[in-house]
Amino acid sequence: MKRSVFFISDRTGISAEIFGRALLSQFEHEIEFDEKTLPFIDTADKAAEARKMIEEAYQQSSDRPLVFDTIVNPDIRAIIHQSPALIMDFFQTFIGPLEKELKTASSFTVGRHHAYDRSGEYNNRIKAVNFALNSDDGASMKYFDDAEVILLGVSRCGKTPTSLYMAMQFGIFAANYPFVSDDMDKLTLPAELKKNKSKLFGLTIDPNRLHEIRTQRRANSQYASLQQCRLEVRLVEMLYKKENIPCLNTSSKSIEEIAVLILERCELERRTF
Amino acid sequence: MKRSVFFISDRTGISAEIFGRALLSQFEHEIEFDEKTLPFIDTADKAAEARKMIEEAYQQSSDRPLVFDTIVNPDIRAIIHQSPALIMDFFQTFIGPLEKELKTASSFTVGRHHAYDRSGEYNNRIKAVNFALNSDDGASMKYFDDAEVILLGVSRCGKTPTSLYMAMQFGIFAANYPFVSDDMDKLTLPAELKKNKSKLFGLTIDPNRLHEIRTQRRANSQYASLQQCRLEVRLVEMLYKKENIPCLNTSSKSIEEIAVLILERCELERRTF
């Protein structure tokens, strides 16, 4: 029997999920969870309905559900808190100590994203995503001058998801350039990259993992062969070394980790909202 | 004088930022914060260095800094907790009650992303991002059969960032199709869309906002003119109505909100990690 879990929010529920999952991950070696997200619980009626769902989950099980909530409004929160559940409340827990420390009452406005949507930060994020798309895969090298960082690497080593994530999460203008055999044969950087050398960051990957990824894409091709993957990785790593380009092996890292490690090494500032 | 804030994590710091910023947003009407993220604090030495940074921030100010941390390892956490700061500790606060409720000790492993990277969930996420890229802007309609949702809308109403976000955050296969004047003149759906009618979801936008966005891209063009924006939005909304396609106005919503509202309306399951 899985343990019922509810992530409840007056907005998207994404923060409540991140909050709850980080904690639940500490127990997954022992317990299976049945997770449900209830977003936009922003009226008393919706809260009563959510409470009913929690009650039903409790009736169907011998254990009370776990509830992770990030509801800002105290009245709506109170309705959820009457549920037969272990309530892990994000705002209630931390707002009190913060109010005391800052000697200021919290505004109890719902979220901050809304206010920020209209601001330059939001536009910047969309611009960064469009930039990553327009300059993806070396599509147009004219973008390199405007990039904050240019990711290099062989095909399928993680450049595109990383540059998109950096744009979406941090508002960073990240371009990327895929090495093609011509660059690798000559072991040189194209002129457009040389011009922007301080922005270059190399990605590399374990050849076996690359072989696996490329096989999913184009099985039994020359492109996916282990031999080809080994050759490309060896050449690209030689080039990074020769040109003194900082680099990172992506094989066992999540996109988040790769993105943050690049921010650190390139001393780029997070531009979040 | 801004109040010093540190987001500290043994991993990327993204959760610590989300955690801290959600709380700080409740005080921004009164107080300005100077935020710094310290990721990958996973050794005693790094923790001691972080503590030193907190001490320095304290010495330069009359107020003690605020520290939001998501460090799992209790020994490393203890070093941070000796700092002269208001400590808002995520794991310490909630792990105790959870252990008691679940009658299980937490695993105290660092994060879960690592373990998950190698799993199908991670691959699915990358596949979803690639799917969004390959099928972007109606690039190739052959992808529509594999899509879970197909976003419709005029140019620059938010289709691309939304489909990428749905892929990155939720692992959803979202394609998108931009209406071109030919579809709009005839007020019909192309055959490839008709075939997948149950997957269609329309985005719409306030014409003034659209005019603003398009002007940033191509000022003084016919494409960006308010008249053209009004016409396109009117036609596309008529088409949604005629074809009974569910739709959403994106004008005052964040990408997160748009994505979650679509999940809800289309009854798509979040496939997160």
B29 touching A, CB under 8 A?
Answer: yes
pLDDT of residue B114 exceeding 60: no
pLDDT band at B121 (very low <50, low <70, confident <90, very high): low
Residues 6+ apart with CB under 8 A from A102: B3, B27, B30, B31
For chain A, domains (ranges, CATH) are: 3-111 (3.40.50), 117-265 (3.40.50)
Q: Tell me what pLDDT residue B115 has.
A: 41
Q: Tell me what pLDDT residue A121 has.
A: 66
Q: Tell me what pLDDT residue B71 has.
A: 93
Considering only residues 242 to 271 of chain B, which have any Cβ-Cβ distance to chain A shorter than 8 Å? 252-257, 259-261, 264, 270
Q: Which amino acid is at B273?
A: F
Contacts of A19 in chain B (CB under 8 A): 15, 18-19, 90
Give pLDDT tens digits for B181-200.
777 788 889 888 999 999 99
Query: Which among A212-216, B9-13, B82-86 has the top mean pLDDT?
Result: B82-86
Contacts of B252 in chain A (CB under 8 A): 114, 117-118
More confident residue, A77 or B106: A77
Give pLDDT tens digits for B127-169.
899 899 888 876 677 889 999 999 999 999 999 999 999 999 8
Nearest CA among B95, B70, B101 for reference residue A66: B101
CB pair distance less than 8 Å for A31 and B111: no
- Of all residues in chain A, the one with the smallest CA distance to B259 is A12
Q: How far apart are CA A18 and CA A28, in angstroms?
A: 15
Residue A168: which of B108, B113, B168 has the nearest Cβ? B168
Angle of CA points B51, A270, B213, to nearest 5°:
160
Interface test with B, best of A4, A21, A27, A121 (most B CBs within 10 A): A27
Q: Tell me what pLDDT residue B119 has.
A: 52
Q: Is B18 helix (H, G, I), strand (E, B) or coil?
A: helix
Tokens of A101: 């420390």
- What's B136's DSSP letter? G
Give pLDDT tens digits for B232-272.
999 999 999 999 999 999 998 888 899 999 999 999 988 76
Q: What are the angstrom distances between the C-alpha of A189 and each of A149, A158, B88, B124?
A: 16, 20, 47, 33
pLDDT of residue B117 exceeding 70: no
pLDDT band at B173 (very low <50, low <70, confident <90, very high): very high
Q: How far apart are CA A235 and CA A246, in angstroms?
A: 15
Q: How far is CA A195 from the centre of its chain?
A: 30
User: ipTM for the complex?
Assistant: 0.85
Length of chain B: 273
The pTM of this model reads: 0.85
More confident residue, A169 or B56: B56
Nearest CA among A87, A85, A68, A76 for reference residue A19: A68
CB pair distance less than 8 Å for B98 and A27: yes
Q: Tell me what pLDDT residue B138 has.
A: 67
CB pair distance less than 8 Å for A165 and B165: no
Å between A111 CA and nearest CA of chain B: 7
pLDDT of residue B108 exceeding 90: no
Q: How far is CA B163 from the centre of its chain?
A: 11
Encode chain A (273 residues) as per-residue pLDDT tens digits: 899 999 999 989 988 998 899 899 889 888 999 999 999 999 999 999 999 999 999 999 989 999 999 998 999 999 999 999 999 999 989 999 999 999 988 887 555 444 444 456 677 888 899 899 888 876 677 889 999 999 999 999 999 999 999 999 899 999 999 988 777 788 889 888 999 999 999 999 999 999 999 998 899 999 999 999 999 999 999 999 999 999 999 998 888 899 999 999 999 988 765
DSSP structure string for A125-146: HHHHHHHHHHTGGGS-GGGGGG
